[in-house]
């Protein structure tokens, strides 16, 4: 019988995976898990001071302040409005564009490149381009509106129009990612379904609503879920367009409110920021679970 003992070679083979996974595991612990736990703890620390790590006690005072703060109410209203406008519009446009790109047409590669450019372009750089396009005097958007006899709109100067400018930019910003996923879903649909529908005499519109949309529904649900989470975290789009929360501080979003509490205000209120972050997490969690519930119901 062979003696079973410690073998250095076997030990190296069995532990080799640690060499590859250790950097990843350490990165997740220090840059993901630790910040999450730390934010959760800070949210319940009253009068927390970041530099000294001192606080007066544990409680719900931070949540009480945030939930009664009119600025947070405005931020929550703006964020929910942004989600409710951007998600439906971007999804509808993306479905139409992805369907067109899925057709065998000339220069389809060129069109795909044009639609995907925003995905590989800096949000801030593109935002400045949109800022010029929204100009009330020299912007191309107002120029096009003038062609149909619509008066120039002060997108960036009128507080009443700031929100709509943000939504227009938001729809355009998430289109590339949405189109890619939907185009992938369309290309995975078996052509036999379309052949059978044509044999039965179905026209293009009937095929689109009776064949394409139902078969694409799982991808649509995934796209809506991912984009909803992304839109709830709207933040970067504010800076190139308005250098902050609108011209009259009327465009606070929840993420900008968090940034405002721990970065803009002096002294910084880390407890309020952490509490707002947890509230945003709970909202996103509830909305995501509701979407999954609806998806499961429709499947059944």
Select the highest-mean-pLDDT range: 4-8, 144-148, 243-247, 274-278.
274-278
User: Could you tell me which of 129, 211, 226 has the C-alpha nearest to residue 180?
Assistant: 226
According to the model, what pLDDT value does residue 92 have? 93
According to the model, what pLDDT value does residue 228 have? 93
Q: Are residues 35 and 126 in the same domain?
A: no
Q: Is the pLDDT of residue 4 over 80?
A: no
Triad 255, 166, 248: Cα angle to 5°: 75
Q: Are residues 160 and 19 in the same domain?
A: no
User: Could you tell me which of 63, 34, 52 has the C-alpha nearest to residue 271?
Assistant: 63
By mean pLDDT, which of 13-22, 219-228, 262-271 is the weakest? 13-22
- Secondary-structure breakdown of the chain: helix, strand, coil percentages, each rounded to the nearest 5: 75, 0, 25
Q: Is the pLDDT of residue 121 over 80?
A: no
The answer to whether residue 34 is domain-embedded is yes
Q: Are residues 157 and 219 in the same domain?
A: yes
Residue 55 structure tokens? 């606080």
Residue 46: in which H helix or E strand, if any? strand 45-46
Give the total number of structural domains in the chain. Answer: 2
| pLDDT tens, position by position, 281-296 | 999 999 999 988 888 8
Domain that holds residue 126: 68-299
The model's confidence at residue 66, banded by pLDDT at 50, 70 and 90, is: very high
| pLDDT tens, position by position, 186-212 | 888 888 888 888 888 888 888 888 888
The answer to whether residue 3 is domain-embedded is no
The answer to whether residue 241 is domain-embedded is yes
Q: Is the pLDDT of residue 82 over 90?
A: yes
The answer to whether residue 163 is domain-embedded is yes
Q: Is the pLDDT of residue 11 over 90?
A: no
Q: Are residues 83 and 49 in the same domain?
A: no
Q: Are residues 87 and 119 in the same domain?
A: yes
Q: Are residues 89 and 145 in the same domain?
A: yes
Q: What mean pLDDT do residues 211-224 have?
A: 90
């Amino acid at each position: 019988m062979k003696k079973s003992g410690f073998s250095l070679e076997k030990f190296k083979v069995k532990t080799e995976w640690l060499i590859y996974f250790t950097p990843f595991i350490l990165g997740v612990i220090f840059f993901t898990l630790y910040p999450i736990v730390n934010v959760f703890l800070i949210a319940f620390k009253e009068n927390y001071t970041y530099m000294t790590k001192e606080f007066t006690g544990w409680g719900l005072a931070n949540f009480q302040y945030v939930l009664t703060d009119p600025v947070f109410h405005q931020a929550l209203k703006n964020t929910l409005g942004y989600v409710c406008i951007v998600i439906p519009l971007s999804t509808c446009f993306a479905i139409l564009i992805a369907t067109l790109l899925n057709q065998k047409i000339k220069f389809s590669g060129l069109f795909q490149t044009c639609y995907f450019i925003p995905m590989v372009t800096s949000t801030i750089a593109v935002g400045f381009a949109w800022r010029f396009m929204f100009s009330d005097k020299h912007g191309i958007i107002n120029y096009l509106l003038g062609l149909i006899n619509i008066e120039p709109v002060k997108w960036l100067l009128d507080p009443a129009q700031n929100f709509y400018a943000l939504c227009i930019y938001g729809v355009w910003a998430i289109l590339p990612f949405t189109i890619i996923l939907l185009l992938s879903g369309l290309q995975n649909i078996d052509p036999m379904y379309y052949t059978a529908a044509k044999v039965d005499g179905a026209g293009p519109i009937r095929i689109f609503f009776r064949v394409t949309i139902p078969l694409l529904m799982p991808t649509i649900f995934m796209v809506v879920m991912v984009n909803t989470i992304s839109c709830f975290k709207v933040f970067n789009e504010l800076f190139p367009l308005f250098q902050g929360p609108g011209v009259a501080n009327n465009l606070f979003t929840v993420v900008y409110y968090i940034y405002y509490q721990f970065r803009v205000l002096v002294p910084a209120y880390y407890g309020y920021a952490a509490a707002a972050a947890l509230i945003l997490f709970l909202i996103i969690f509830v909305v995501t679970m509701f979407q999954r519930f609806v998806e499961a119901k429709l499947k059944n």
